[in-house]
Amino acid sequence: MGKWCVGIDLGGTYVKFGLLDENLRPGRTIELPTPGQEGPEALVQQMVAGVRQLMAANALACGDVSAVGIGSPGPIDIPQGIIIDAPNIPGMRNFPLRDSISRALGLPAVLENDANAAAYGEYLAGAGRGTRIMVMLTLGTGVGSGIIIDGQILHGSHGLGGELGHMIIVPDGEPCGCGQKGCLERYCSATYLAMLAARKARESGREGLLAAAVNQGRDIDARQVNEARKAGDPLAAEVWDMATCYLALGCVNICRIFDPDLIVLSGGLTRAGDDLMQPLRAHFNRLHWRLTKPQTHLAIASLGADAGAIGAAGVAWRASRQH
Amino acid sequence: MGKWCVGIDLGGTYVKFGLLDENLRPGRTIELPTPGQEGPEALVQQMVAGVRQLMAANALACGDVSAVGIGSPGPIDIPQGIIIDAPNIPGMRNFPLRDSISRALGLPAVLENDANAAAYGEYLAGAGRGTRIMVMLTLGTGVGSGIIIDGQILHGSHGLGGELGHMIIVPDGEPCGCGQKGCLERYCSATYLAMLAARKARESGREGLLAAAVNQGRDIDARQVNEARKAGDPLAAEVWDMATCYLALGCVNICRIFDPDLIVLSGGLTRAGDDLMQPLRAHFNRLHWRLTKPQTHLAIASLGADAGAIGAAGVAWRASRQH
């Protein structure tokens, strides 16, 4: 059996390729464009080409690779290895991606949700290395999450678990696209933070940097909210404080539920670095129960955009050890 | 190795004894008074006497029993098998109960938190039989919980996990004894439901059955709130509706987090039966996301007061299989 596992991270724009050796050391990663309009067979071919390029870039021979993991956006059927639907790629409905890749490469393959794969990457080879229980929250368009307990990804009984972005944290709160109200992600994803700021700027009638941008019809993003805050805009400061407070509340709940060693944060909002982590930690310590001191660490992910590909390799590594 | 595992459930008033055979069928249970004032050695003796009576009651010989599990209220140190403190039993601070029982009986022993043991009992031999992932909420003085994933009890990295009663569900809500605000248990435990009803009756100035009882200085409990509700008291109906709504919100969150097959409810509030389950299910269906239909069932525990002892036997069964 070869010493390396390969990981493929299927994104809307790029397919990323990474790998891990048997000591869980990552190799060089590469990426290729996602052939979005050409159907599933073109995607399989691109993936095979990417794996070959990855092996060349890392000077690996065929016998050096033992298994392949694929991280894909949902909805997917993990036990069957099927992409149920991929809105950006026509013809992908109910496509058996796992078995197609396995046949094309002549290697065992596993399929995993992309958020779980990224969490697994951080767990094995990133910020979560050495932890027993790790929870990752990805603060992007929404709030994605991955939960790792003793090396196992929590999927739930029907593949619907680990959706911490849809924990209700405000009864009868902001309506969410999922049909619930008050979901965590409606308060602290990068996208919703910016939306809340824009709405407040429009509705409050207050002046300031954010209000000026919004009133000129410009779109604002989370980075601009933070910049406005640092430039002294009180409305931006309020929204930033609110978002970090709700995120801290979510982290406290994660401690009550899982008592993890570590909560890893990733996604667009974490580009704010300490501007995010400092108020987050302050709110976390304030909201946390008094029965014990906080035992769970909060940290920013360390693998960046490579987490998904490295984690997919890790999922393959795990599966090959369990067989 | 014997075919039976024995379970001991240490309560403040009674010690209960139960057992499971290798096919996870429970035997007859018995109980003895807890020797509260006589120190740890008397407790160990009482436990040994109870195990002998249990074996006699089930016509078992010494060789028929292979292991013992003990469920105890916290705080305990599970890996070390130590009772850190037992407020009702003097001299129990840092007492090595597991090893004392193991030596006295000449059998391997394991220690577990009593709420987890009860959840494990329902999982193996009660309402949760045949499930993969099961969450139990015990609606009593507070809200206790036990989380079972693929046969493993979720303890967390520092033994602080599985405290679902202390999920914050109302930001800046009711102050909780743990130091947080808005914990689930402050809205739907049997005790707090009655407290909220009494407070509302006092403060609202409204008339009715509950208000009359409270104004006469009588204590009310959850059962009386339900009785008043059924007799047409609108204030009681409001409080009952609020408690079942928050409990449903907690159950929705449990689905988003764990996606279990089943949420089992136990404790004093479940004596209300359908008076609890009917509004709970209605709120649960209303609050649940629309991305999928609810997949998780809600049910009342089936082992009643035996769950702790049977579950402690189950914890011993599990440990003996893992060795």
- CA distance readout (Å), A236 to A121, A226, A272: 34, 7, 14
Q: What is the mean pLDDT of residues B235-250?
A: 97
Strand partners, A83: A76, A95
Residue of B nearest to A168 (CA): B253
For chain B, say whether A178 makes contact (Cβ under 8 Å): yes
Only one residue has tokens 């080409």, namely A49
Dihedral over Cα of B176, B182, B185, B188: its sign: positive
d(CA A313, CA A70): 8
What integer best gives the mean pLDDT of chain B? Answer: 95
Q: What is the mean pLDDT of residues A32-58?
A: 94
Residue of A nearest to B285 (CA): A180
d(CA A167, CA A250): 8
Q: How far is A58 from chain B (nearest CA, A)?
A: 37
**Angle in degrees, CA B13, B15, B19, rounded to 5:** 150
Residue of A nearest to B260 (CA): A157
For chain B, say whether A297 makes contact (Cβ under 8 Å): no
**B287 interaction partners in chain A (CB closer than 8 Å):** 168, 180-181
Residue of A nearest to B181 (CA): A287
Up-side HSE of residue B241: CA atoms within 13 Å toward CB? 8
For chain A, say whether B286 makes contact (Cβ under 8 Å): no
d(CA A277, CA A270): 8
Confidence tier at B1 by pLDDT (50, 70, 90): low
Res A144: pLDDT? 93
pLDDT tens-place string over residues B13-44: 899 999 999 999 999 999 999 997 888 999 99
Residue B230 dihedral angles phi and psi, to the nearest 5° = -70, -25
d(CA B134, CA B148): 5
**B149 interaction partners in chain A (CB closer than 8 Å):** 149, 154
Instruction: Please give the DSSP secondary-structure letter assigned to residue A29.
Output: -
Instruction: Say if residue A299's pLDDT is above 80.
Output: yes
Closest CA to A159 of A97, A116, A119: A116
Best residue of A133, A245, A256 to probe chain B, by most B CBs closer than 10 Å: A256
ipTM value greater than 0.85:
yes
Residue A106, sorted as left (phi over 0), alpha (psi -120 to 50) or beta, turns out to be left
For chain B, say whether A302 makes contact (Cβ under 8 Å): no
Query: What element of type H or E holds B152?
Result: strand B152-153
Q: Report the largest interatomic distance among the alpha carbons of chain A, rounded to a whole angstrom.
A: 66
| Residue in A163, A171, A257 closest to B169 by CB | A171
Q: What is the mean pLDDT of residues B184-209?
A: 93
The mean-pLDDT minimum among B18-32, B86-100, B162-176 falls in B86-100
pLDDT tens-place string over residues A60-93: 998 999 999 999 987 899 999 999 987 777 788 9
pLDDT tens-place string over residues B57-72: 999 998 999 999 999 9
A215 vs B112, more confident: B112
List B residues 6-65 in contact with A (Cβ-Cβ < 8 A): none
Q: How far is B229 from chain A (nearest CA, A)?
A: 24
Res A75: pLDDT? 85
Confidence tier at B145 by pLDDT (50, 70, 90): very high
| Residue in A160, A178, A256 closest to B167 by CB | A256
CB atoms B161 and A257 under 8 Å: yes
For chain B, say whether A258 makes contact (Cβ under 8 Å): yes
**B296 interaction partners in chain A (CB closer than 8 Å):** 157
d(CA A163, CA A143): 8
CB atoms A295 and B161 under 8 Å: no
* CA B181 from centre of chain: 22
For chain B, say whether A175 makes contact (Cβ under 8 Å): no
Residue of A nearest to B247 (CA): A171
List B residues 110-149 in contact with A (Cβ-Cβ < 8 A): 131-133, 147, 149
d(CA A253, CA B258): 13
Confidence tier at B135 by pLDDT (50, 70, 90): very high
pLDDT tens-place string over residues B175-193: 999 999 999 999 999 999 9
Res B62: pLDDT? 86
CB B108 within 8 A of CB B319: yes
CB B222 within 8 A of CB B268: yes
**A178 interaction partners in chain B (CB closer than 8 Å):** 289-291
Instruction: Say if residue B322's pLDDT is above 90.
Output: no
Residue of B nearest to A132 (CA): B157
Query: What element of type H or E holds B241?
Result: helix B234-258
Instruction: Say if residue A1's pLDDT is above 60.
Output: no
3-state secondary structure of B127: coil
CB B26 within 8 A of CB B20: yes
Rounded to two decimals, what is the model's pTM?
0.95
CB atoms A133 and B291 under 8 Å: no
What integer best gives the mean pLDDT of chain A? Answer: 95
Residue of B nearest to A246 (CA): B171
For chain B, say whether A5 makes contact (Cβ under 8 Å): no
Beta-carbon pairs below 8 A across chains A and B:
136
pLDDT tens-place string over residues A91-108: 889 999 999 999 999 999
For chain A, say whether B291 makes contact (Cβ under 8 Å): yes
How is A255-298 classified by DSSP, letter by letter? Answer: HHHH--SEEEEESGGGGGTHHHHHHHHHHHHHHS-SSS----EE
**B245 interaction partners in chain A (CB closer than 8 Å):** 171
3-state secondary structure of B263: strand
Instruction: Say if residue B74's pLDDT is above 90.
Output: no
% pLDDT > 90, chain A = 87
